[in-house]
Amino acid sequence: MEQKSMESPGVSAGSVGSIAMPESEQTLPSGILTFLFTDIEGSTVRWDRDPRAMQAVVRRHDDIMRSAIASHHGRVFKTVGDAFCSVFPRINDALDAAVQAQRALANEDFSQVDGVRARMAIHVGAADERDGDYFGRTPNRVARLLSVGHGGQVLLSGVAAEVAADAAPQTELRDLGEHRLKDLTVPEHIFQLLAPDLETEFPTLKSLSVLDNNLPVQLTSLIGREQELADIRALLDRSRLVTLCGAGGVGKTRCALQAGAEVLDAFKEGVWFVDLAPLSDGTLVVNAIASVFDVREPPNQRLLDEVLSYLKKKQLLLILDNCEHLVAEVSKTADSILRACPTVRILATSRESLSIDGEAVYRMPSLAVPERVKGLSAADALSYGAVALFEARGRSANPKFKLDNSNAATVADVCRRLDGIPLAIELATARLNVLSPSQLAQKLDERFRLLTGGNRAALPRQHTMRALIDWSYDHLSAQEQRLFRYFSIFSGSFTLDMATAVCADDHIAGFEVLDLLTSLVDKSLVQPEHSSDESRYRLQESTRQYARERLVECAEMERIARRHADAYVRLAEQLDNSWDSKPDSQWVCQAEPDMDNWRAALTWAFSAHGDPLIAQRLASAKIWLELAPGEGRRYLLTALTSADERTPPELIAQLELAASKIDTVFGQFKAALASAERARAIFETLGDELCLANARLCAGRALLFLKHVQEGEVMLQAALDVFRRSGSKKTMGSALSALGAARIIQGDVPEARSFLTAAGTLYKRSGADGRVPAVLSMLAEAEFRAGDAGTALEVASQALTAHRGVKSGPNVVNILYNMAAYFTVLGRYDEARAHAREALELARDEQADAEVTIALQHLAAVAALGAPGDQEAQERAARLLGFADASFDALDYTREYTEQQEYERVRTALHHALGDARLAELAQEGQSWTEERAVSEALEI
């Protein structure tokens, strides 16, 4: 089957690649426009036969097309292979360009490839221009119009024909009647352009109205499924049975119908749709197929035999829709047809596969949704299928609705929370006649009350999201229902091992979990996520909420929540024990996918019905320090507050130790020291040498920053000795890097380099490459301490690149504001400002108060030192410095060397610019500012 599909936003099959337009062609017209789309008929066959000759032919074809379009004020906004997409302000220009191009192509000698004939289509309407391309119904429609034409033919839509009346006096229009196009929506009145020297006689149009089929009319267009349709067409090329599997509401039927329309001209006897949804008796499957072809059951003979006899020599595609509730009978019937009828292909839709020989299963994904990003624009959001569907259906529900930059993030969030499920999005957008997108988002927690209504002509089970999932749930066995309910306790994805650990109980044996899980995957109620390491599984959010309600109804919630929390705290402790022996990348890959489950376990454990000991054990785990220190800090505070006489001393010590580490990350050195000392006292009593060394490491680091350097070095050296005996490479590296920091503070740069180099070597050997950037950052500080800001900047740049690679938020903030200081010393104030601003933004995201204040001080330095003659800048800097002083006092934070040196330079500059009295007055004003006010003022710099 040769398939070439050209549909906004792209042209897919049969293409050799999309070519971006030169910069000069990027300014595109807007408003009501005329679109001219063209492509070469039968180009795929010619490329396969003689690619070298086709290269030369297509180059000449392209020259002709570009010349004709450009000479009539048109713009080519996209080419894909030999297909051209162009736009014109006026229809007469498009008509003249089409005529000129057809004449020129007809006069060329393309005999080396058996001739070249281009088909062309013209349509008029509005379209959304975005990033040099056009989107929306108009470009989609002209692409569909093009697909029904023949080489040498120029077709116009009914709208274009009305506008074209008297537009080109040398041309005429021939009425070809109404035709259904392959988008399956309302018929299009089509006209053919006639002009001197152009061919006039062509075969019948290749429309749905002419080709054999019974594909039902669709009232709305299919959106966001270009890749899926290309995948399905490719599978139909290779396999005689393709089954689209997916959860209810994901759009299997609509995609199957569209795929059938697009391959229609590849099947001599057409494409035939059989809807099995109304059937409740599997024995009637054959009857449903027979009725489509008007095959009657003969006396004394099976109806199936008569159907097979009818189909035996037919070349057609049979679409069997909604097979899941009759899967056994459908499988038998499909197998019989495929064996007896060699030129019949079957495209099935089902929530589970048919499981017969030769079946190609295509798992229908949800529509693409944007990741959570700041400042998501409407243009970027619309490039995702889920948002594009929301926007289109939203405008149908409420013509005043418009997706713009102010609501794009909210709409994206709604689509994300609806898992990109088309039916859920359509049900949600139906509410836009009374709710705004933000109100819709707020009500999603009540989704089963919200997501009702929609298309009254749909199947009863598609009237509401609840009915959709009810239908699937009711068709499960009792054990499948039980495991489905249990799975609702997971947040995000989970592994088979964790499914067994949580769900195997008195009702479900451990060995049963795999078979039941497989069945739920087959029935599209659980979504598999395969990777090279380990498969994971998840429930879509709407499905999970439904299962959670059932779990509560069955009074199973508390028991399963406890099992979930207990299993995940044990997993976290296993990861803690393997932390020093595993490379960081491997450890993180194991830990990261379960973060949502640990959050859920903590939420339950901290609740009134939870278990404080589980909460305390989980809050002390390394996952928070390594992956989410900001969250971990909050959990630790709650866990320490809840500790009482029932909490074992060793657990309290571990909580204090974890708190000390996280406080150090956020610059809370007094709090870090206090926690480390409390942990140290307990570990000394318990006689746990390794844990005691860890407490000394934490205390030693905090002492350095609190200017008790010699005392800190003693602690660090004692810890290092224990780590060396234990062979603990990562903690040994931490102690060495801290000793390097001590040497920096004391101005011993050569010794600092020695300690830091040794730390970096250990980190690399132990697979802790993600810690090397922090060592580089400290080496940069050593160079700065030695007075070489240029070298410091070079090393810091390497550290920043490496930090970004390992997504280390707090460390990125640290190196950014250090670099701001280096740039300031070098007089490169624009770069200093940019780095300090980025540090400020990231620090606010991390909720790191000390880092926010440090970034604000660096911006004050840019204002004070970079604009010495600007009175307003000097006064703003003075106020910001006052705010920084007050903030550091409140946080009990002591400036490090780099910040202290900068602070003194800024105060000196402001003293000379403003005088002591005015400086003190302005600083006092700044001390009363809120953080929001300080940030607002700093961003004016």
pLDDT tens-place string over residues 44-77: 888 888 999 999 999 999 999 999 999 999 999 9
| Each residue's pLDDT tens digit, 512-550 | 999 999 999 988 889 888 876 789 999 988 888 889 999
| Each residue's pLDDT tens digit, 250-297 | 999 999 999 999 999 899 999 999 999 888 888 899 999 999 998 888
The CATH architecture assigned to 466-555 reads: Orthogonal Bundle (1.10)
Please say if the pLDDT value at position 643 is more than 90: yes
The bridge status of strand 271-275 relative to strand 83-88 is: unpaired
- Residue 134: the pLDDT is 86
Please say if the pLDDT value at position 777 is more than 50: yes
Would you say the C-alpha torsion 821, 823, 824, 825 has a positive or negative sign?
positive
- Residue 14: the pLDDT is 29
Report d(CA 362, CA 249) in Å as an integer: 16
pLDDT-derived band at 20 (thresholds 50, 70, 90) equals: very low
| Each residue's pLDDT tens digit, 890-927 | 887 778 889 999 999 999 999 999 999 999 999 999 99
Closest CA to 214 of 165, 148, 264: 264
Please say if the pLDDT value at position 788 is more than 50: yes
Tokens (6 digits) for 910: 């402001």
- Residue 166: the pLDDT is 64
| Cα angle: 197, vertex 198, 203; to 5 degrees | 145
Report d(CA 672, CA 676) in Å as an integer: 6
- Window from 116-125, 314-323, 363-372, 442-451 with minimum mean pLDDT: 442-451
Out of 1.20.1110.10, 1.25.40.10, 3.30.1330.10, 3.40.50.300, the CATH code matching 580-783 is 1.25.40.10
pLDDT-derived band at 692 (thresholds 50, 70, 90) equals: very high
- Residue 181: the pLDDT is 86
Average pLDDT over residues 431-458: 72
Report the b/e string of 415-435 with b at 16+ CB within 10 A.
Answer: bbbbbbbbbbbbbbbbbbeeb
Evaluate whether the domain defined by 809-938 bears CATH number 1.10.3470: no
Please say if the pLDDT value at position 752 is more than 90: yes
Please say if the pLDDT value at position 492 is more than 90: no
pLDDT-derived band at 431 (thresholds 50, 70, 90) equals: confident
Residues 604 and 565: beta-carbon distance below 8 Å: yes
Count the alpha carbons within 13 Å of 651 in the hemisphere toward its beta carbon: 19
Average pLDDT over residues 130-143: 84
Tokens 């990231």: give the residue: 842
Average pLDDT over residues 207-230: 87
Tokens (6 digits) for 897: 């060397």
Q: So where are the chain's domains?
A: 6-194, 226-363, 378-452, 466-555, 580-783, 809-938
Summary mean pLDDT of the chain? 89
Residues 157 and 189: beta-carbon distance below 8 Å: yes
Burial of 231 (0-12, 13-18, 19+ CB in 10 A): middle
Helix axes 809-825, 849-866, angle to 10 degrees: 20
**DSSP E strands: which ranges in 383-512?**
494-495
pTM value is 0.68
Please say if the pLDDT value at position 197 is more than 80: yes
- Residue 448: the pLDDT is 61
Report d(CA 896, CA 707) in Å as an integer: 9
- Residue 506: the pLDDT is 92
Evaluate whether the domain defined by 6-194 bears CATH number 3.30.70.1230: yes
Average pLDDT over residues 467-495: 91
The 83-88 sheet, strands edge to edge:
18-19, 75-80, 83-88, 32-40, 118-126, 154-156, 188-194, 172-179
- Residue 140: the pLDDT is 87
Domains 6-194 and 466-555 share a fold: no
pLDDT-derived band at 19 (thresholds 50, 70, 90) equals: very low
Q: Which residues pair with 362 in a beta bridge?
A: 244
- Residue 13: the pLDDT is 29
Average pLDDT over residues 314-324: 95
- Residue 3: the pLDDT is 38
Would you say the C-alpha torsion 348, 352, 355, 359 has a positive or negative sign?
positive
Please say if the pLDDT value at position 111 is more than 80: yes
Q: What percent of the chain has pLDDT over 90?
A: 65
Q: What type of residue is 218?
A: Q
- Residue 18: the pLDDT is 38
- Residue 11: the pLDDT is 33
Burial of 666 (0-12, 13-18, 19+ CB in 10 A): buried
Bigger pLDDT: 5 vs 219 = 219
Q: What percent of the chain has pLDDT over 70?
A: 94
Out of 3.40.50.300, 3.40.50.11740, 1.10.8.640, 3.30.1330.80, the CATH code matching 226-363 is 3.40.50.300
